Amino acid sequence: MRIALGQLESGTDIQANLAAIERFSAQAARDGAQLVAFPEYASYEKKVVDASFPAVAEPLDGPVGTALAGIARRHGVALVAGVVEASGDPERAYNTLAAFGPDGALLARYRKIHLFDAQGIGESRFIKPAPSAEPVVFGFGGVNFGLMTCYDLRFPELARALSDAGADVLLACSSWVPGEHKTRQWIALAQARAIENGLYVAGACQAPPVSVGHSLLVDPMGAVLTELGLEPSVAAADVSLERIAEVRRQFPMFRQRRLG
């Protein structure tokens, strides 16, 4: 299967963000991608999460979700993007990944588990954590995709739970906060999660200045198959179930691990 990574430079203009998602989805479809992944907070983003996030939050069947479903349908691709979802609490929203199929139907919803209360940022002040820590995996085109968001990448137990739930590809949709060593950590953690689980990691990231860019696809041996730079752009690459099986034959970690 061919998947695409759409690296955005999202801001507070929701319509402009949706227009960028539309353009990159069209390009991904022309490049033969069957699924395109966009970053965390693709529909609305600022340098620091604040009270405006719950203020713009919507249910997934609201205008933003409806627009994303329409983009997926128009271009015949599955589409995964980060949105600000209404939680029922006017002061805190959910940081949600929504996956739509080529028919516009909702395939999956993942609400971020690990909120970014680090580097002096308090995401949990305005964002609610997922009510459940259950892994979210959805199937599309014969491939199983596990969903995780940004800071989740630092928690190997979530990646392992997604792998145990059958994920072949981890979609790590992110707005990775810049800082000392942060780009190197982003790449290293994506490679580590791929290697230790024998699967692909697809990291779709926001571009600078809000994030570090460098969206990338890592194969089960940790090889970087494609990596974007600092500018908004889109790139497609292939994932192979045969490659996963081959690597897991070489390194049968799931049969060998001893826990408890």
Give how far the C-alpha of residue 50 lies from the chain's centroid of Cα atoms, to the nearest Å.
Answer: 21
- Tokens in use for 108? 């999956």
Give catalytic status of residue 40 as yes or no. Answer: yes
- Tokens in use for 93? 């929203």
Give catalytic status of residue 150 as yes or no. Answer: yes
Residue 7: which of 187, 212, 216, 207 has the closest Cα?
207
**CA–CA distance from 121 to each of 95, 124, 154, 205, 234 (Å)?**
15, 9, 16, 18, 29
Residue 210: which of 230, 192, 236 has the closest Cα?
230
| Active-site choice (45, 58, 150, 173) | 150
| Active-site choice (85, 112, 128, 205) | 112
- Tokens in use for 223? 């090889």
CB 8 within 8 A of CB 180: no
CB 107 within 8 A of CB 140: yes
Please state, in angstroms and rounded to a whole number, the distance separating the CA atoms of residues 42 and 246: 34
Please state, in angstroms and rounded to a whole number, the distance separating the CA atoms of residues 111 and 44: 16
| Active-site choice (9, 40, 45, 123) | 40
The residues carrying an active-site annotation are 40, 112, 150
